[in-house]
């Protein structure tokens, strides 16, 4: 049984309700999860509020940062436990969890412990009407109790991306992990206890969204701010709930990200980048590429080579050495993606590769498997080229002129990320500046410096995370103005 973690203790939900945590590799039961009742969410928020005013607040900054370093070290020490839990929940290849999800989950605590030690404020000298000097300076204080509502695609990584800076700034948190991937958030409670993080600083409540832990948490009157990563419609519902209490929100939402390939691109680099951005984590990455615009002179070669790369993706059990492609998170999500695969055919797509469910053998037939898929022959305005699918698929569309590519790349309700492949340095700077997205990669993908701004525009979110940008959300600035008794000027 996966339990809620409230005030340093694991406990069952008061309502006695549970839901199943299903392994998407073969449909087997990973564990039953205890669903938090409204009273459990109340208890978690109360515990966080008490810790905020008590033992957590009494720690000096250096002590708090040392604890976060200890959390990171303990995640590293227990890496096998976290990898196993993440793989069981998500079905992703073990190599991916071991090299990305879990190390980054630990690194997020170190990065923000370092960032908060050096975060700047501001100071100004001015003069009162009588000519006496006045000093203005800013102080940072924690925002309070933070609701952290997390997605299922990179469970530990994206949860600690929020919990790390929140705790570094002196806040306390109540985490609602996705019902699809509850294990690592719960396991992190053991780490918090073992290194001595005060009880109530980190809390976890399990459940679904409406009429469950997600709604109870996002509408709770004693939550001071809400941070969410996930689907845009869910984000809109949380924003509406937060608006009733005038609570600040940080939202990293959906995307329909474009890659633009110019004829002068290094195609070896391009295909390597596209293979990752289209197919990694079975396409279940908010930053992934679903629209690929290719200059006509290299269009056929790019399509052919990308299809060859897709053919080398091997589904299988996460621990098998040859496995480099996992299932989708659930059968529900599989149905959604397959609906888009059918829609692509209805819209007249040419299916270059994929388009269905792979043969995985009897042992894995209960899993949520899907084929990596590439389409051509669709117009830019088609639904498959416009709506977020969140699967291992892309539509490849030719262009002739740079202006045409820019217009299509920007013609989206989303604005999270884009990739550009070219060797023309002048084009790099002008094209990147004109893209209406929060993140632009040039001749690469998913290369991250965790100090840089992360987030999207338009329907892809509100606010920025990373480095000082996260600290701005998790702190309140207070200005102190002191009139000095200096000599008149």
**Catalytic (active-site) positions:** 252, 286
Query: How far is 328 from 283, CA to CA, in rounded Å?
Result: 9
Strands 9-11 and 4-6: antiparallel
If you count them, how many residues does the chain have? 489
- 459 φ, ψ to 5°? -80, 10
Considering only the C-alpha atoms of the chain, give the largest distance between any 2 of them, rounded to a whole number of Å: 88
C-alpha closest to that of 23 among 464, 256, 327, 267? 327
CA distances, 15 to each of 3, 42, 202, 205, 219 (Å):
13, 13, 22, 13, 19
User: Which position has the token pair 């992990």?
Assistant: 177
Q: Are the CB atoms for 175 and 189 separated by under 8 Å?
A: no
Give 295's strand partners.
399
Alpha carbon distance 328, 258 (integer Å): 22
Cα 454 to Cα 249: distance, rounded to the nearest angstrom: 15
Cα–Cα separations (whole angstroms), residue 218 to 13, 40, 145, 186: 18, 14, 12, 19
SS3 57: helix
Residue found under tokens 């900054």: 61
Q: Are strands 439-442 and 393-399 parallel, antiparallel or unpaired?
A: unpaired
| Residue 229 DSSP SS3 | strand
Q: How far is CA 194 from CA 10, 68, 190, 213, 321, in A?
A: 14, 12, 6, 26, 33
Task: For residue 335, give Cα distances in angstroms to 288, 310, 340, 345.
Answer: 20, 21, 9, 16
Q: Helix H segments across 15-78?
A: 38-53, 55-58, 61-77
What is d(CA 294, CA 263) in angstroms, rounded to the nearest whole number? 8
123-148 as b/e, with b when 16 or more CB fall inside 10 Å? eeeeeeeeeebeeeeeebebbbbbbb
Token pair belonging to 100: 């990305």
What angle is formed at CA 325 by the lines to CA 95 and CA 333, rounded to 5 degrees? Answer: 120
């Amino acid at each position: 049984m996966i339990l809620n973690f409230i005030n340093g203790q694991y406990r069952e939900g008061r309502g006695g309700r549970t839901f199943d945590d299903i392994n998407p590799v073969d449909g087997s039961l990973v564990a039953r999860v205890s669903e938090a009742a409204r009273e459990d969410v109340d208890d978690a928020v109360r515990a966080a509020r008490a810790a905020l005013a008590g033992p957590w607040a009494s720690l000096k900054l250096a002590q708090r940062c040392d604890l976060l370093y200890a959390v990171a070290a303990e995640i590293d020490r227990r890496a096998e436990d976290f990898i196993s839990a993440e793989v069981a929940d998500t079905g992703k290849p073990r190599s991916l969890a071991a090299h990305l999800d879990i190390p980054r989950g630990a690194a997020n605590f170190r990065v923000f412990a370092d960032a908060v030690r050096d975060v700047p404020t501001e100071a100004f000298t001015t003069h009162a009407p009588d000519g006496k000097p006045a000093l203005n300076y800013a102080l940072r204080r924690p925002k309070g109790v933070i609701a952290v509502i997390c997605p299922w695609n990179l469970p530990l990584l994206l949860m600690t991306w929020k919990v790390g800076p929140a705790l570094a700034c002196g806040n306390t948190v109540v985490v609602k992990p996705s019902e699809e991937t509850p294990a690592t958030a719960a396991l992190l409670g053991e780490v918090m206890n073992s290194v001595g993080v005060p009880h109530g600083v980190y809390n976890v409540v399990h459940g679904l969204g409406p009429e469950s832990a997600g709604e109870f948490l996002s509408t709770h009157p004693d939550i001071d701010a809400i941070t969410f990563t996930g689907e845009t419609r869910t984000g809109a519902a949380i924003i509406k709930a937060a608006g009733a209490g005038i609570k600040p929100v940080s939202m990293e939402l959906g995307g329909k990200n474009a890659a633009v390939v110019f004829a002068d691109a290094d195609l070896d680099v391009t295909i390597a980048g596209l293979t990752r951005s289209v197919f990694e984590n079975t396409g279940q990455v908010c930053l992934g590429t679903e629209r690929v615009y290719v200059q006509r002179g290299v269009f056929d070669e790019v399509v052919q080579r990308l299809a060859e790369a897709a053919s080398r993706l091997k589904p299988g059990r996460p621990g098998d050495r040859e496995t480099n492609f996992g299932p989708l998170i659930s059968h529900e999500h599989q149905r959604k993606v397959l609906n888009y695969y059918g829609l692509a055919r209805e819209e007249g797509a040419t299916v270059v590769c994929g388009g269905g469910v792979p043969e995985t053998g009897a042992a894995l037939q209960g899993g949520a498997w899907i084929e990596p898929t590439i389409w051509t022959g669709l117009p830019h305005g088609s639904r498959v080229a416009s709506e977020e699918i969140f699967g291992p698929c892309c539509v490849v569309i030719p262009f002739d002129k740079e202006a045409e590519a820019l217009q299509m790349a920007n013609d989206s309700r989303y604005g999270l990320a884009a990739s550009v492949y070219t060797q023309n340095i002048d084009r790099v700077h002008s094209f990147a500046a004109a893209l209406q997205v929060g993140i632009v990669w040039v001749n690469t993908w998913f290369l991250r410096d965790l100090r840089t701004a992360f987030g999207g525009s338009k329907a892809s979110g509100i606010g920025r995370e990373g480095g000082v940008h996260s600290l701005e959300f998790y702190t309140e600035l207070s200005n102190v103005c002191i009139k000095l008794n200096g000599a008149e000027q």
